[in-house]
Structures are given as structure tokens and as C-alpha cells.
Amino acid sequence: MTASPILVAVPADVRSFENYDWHATPDTYLKALTRVAGATPVIVPALSGEFDVNALLGRVDGLLMTGSASNVHPDRYGVPPSRAHEPFDPARDRLTEAMIRGALAAGVPMLCVCRGHQELNVALGGTLATEIQELDGRMDHRATPNKDQRERYATRHAVAVTPGGVLAGIVGSDEIRVNSLHRQAIDRLADGLAVEASAPDGTVEAVSVEGAKAFALGVQWHPEYWAETDAASTTIFKAFGDACRAHAARRADAPR
């Protein structure tokens, strides 16, 4: 008997095209889920007021929070908005905050990438800094202006992995090289998050949720892009997939 596929919810961004609002996500995340994590992605429209988010989370085996060109609206962490914080996607903000909180409460495994990493910090009460390349002592983490995606997403710098942490247990190393492409970053770390990796300039590059019921990891870089060829990226997605399968088994064994 063939096992049922594990289902991973992926929140959509809202994009306007040809007089329609489209709910979509980049296919790099979807391919990493199918090819490496062994999961079937389910794109969730950013219409959180139209359906029960918690009911949805009860039907899936994991949650992947993707990166995006948009940023979390600063109203959500108590900072006046400015042009430096744009662009925004408030519909996604509403959906992802509900999904993060619901997943943590229900013990649904969760991997948060780039914007998702920042969304996790904000959902738990932390704040973000914008245009960090303008701050004293900070590196320029922004993507290079290159149309070749392989060049844009090439690994740029090393991160120090926290010894004995969740990420260290996954990648088996105290240092990995990453493709961290961002101009915003965690400012005040939310209570309940542990730092799992840092850039040479001190930027928080990975976090985990302390005491989480299941896999709950956030990374500022983009492991989805090289998930099939980079060892650290592969192990992150495989570990997430394994956690989703374990959650699926628990759901299957739960009394109905």
C-alpha cells in the first residue's frame, strides 16, 4: 500500500498582473519541497479572513514560510512605516502571523526562510531593522544586481553555527556558507527564540523556537535555491521533510 503524500502548506504572496490579483509563490520553494523534502506543497491563498487557518493546519503535515520581495509591515512591530520599509503585502502579513501562531500551538513542523524568518520573529514579539547595510559595522547583505539567478543566489559569506543548537545538529558543522540576500534583519530578538547562526557582522542568520512541540527553524538565507546540490541546504530540507513525516504519523495514530 502506497503511503499518503505529506502535505506542506506554503503561504502565497499577492501580486497584481493583467488586472488580477494573483496568489502565488516562487517555484524554487516548491521544487525543494518535492525533490528534497519529499513533500507535496499546497499553496495557501492570502485570504485568511475567508477560511479557518487552524482547521487548515489540522489537515497538513508542515508549514514552509517563504521569502518574498515584500517586507513585514512595520506597524506589526511598533515602528513608523517609511519608504525604506517598502514594499508591503498586508494580506500575506495577516495570513502568515495566523499560520505561525497556529502551527506552534498545534505542533506543526515549520521551516521559515528569509521573509519567513523575519515573520517568525515579529509574530513572537520581536522587531526588525531595515537597510542594515547602512548601519555601522554591518555588511551589505543585499543581492547583487545580476539577472543571472545563479549568480544572484551564489553563496556570499560564512555564518557561525551555534554549538549544540538545533541547526548544528542538522548540518553537523560549526560554520557553513550561505546565500543571504536581504536588506532587513532581526533587530530585537523575540522572547522564546534562540540564535542558531550569526553572520560575521553579528546579524542573526538563523533561529529556533525554544521548547517547540515540533521542528521550528528560521533561516535568513535561501537553502531552497541550492537544496539539491549544497550539502547544508539539502540536510535542512531533508530534516524538515523527516519532521513532517513524523507529524503525519502522529496524526494518523491519533484517535478520531
Please check whether residue 162 is in contact with residue 194, taking contact to mean a CB–CB distance below 8 angstroms.
yes
Q: 235, 223, 238: which is closest to 155 by C-alpha?
A: 223
| Residues with catalytic roles | 114, 222, 224
CB 198 within 8 A of CB 159: yes
175-178 and 193-198 as β-strands: parallel, antiparallel, unpaired? unpaired
- CB neighbours (10 Å) of residue 146? 11
pLDDT by position in tens, the chain (length 256): 346 789 999 999 999 999 999 999 999 999 999 999 999 999 999 998 899 999 999 999 999 999 998 899 999 999 999 988 989 999 999 999 999 999 999 999 999 999 999 999 999 999 999 988 888 888 888 877 777 888 888 888 999 999 999 999 999 999 999 998 888 999 999 999 999 999 999 999 999 999 999 999 999 999 999 999 999 999 999 999 999 999 999 988 877 6
Contact 104, 50 (CB under 8 A): no
Phi-psi region of 85 (alpha: psi -120 to 50; beta: other; left: phi over 0): alpha
Task: Please state which architecture CATH assigns to domain 6-253.
Answer: 3-Layer(aba) Sandwich (3.40)
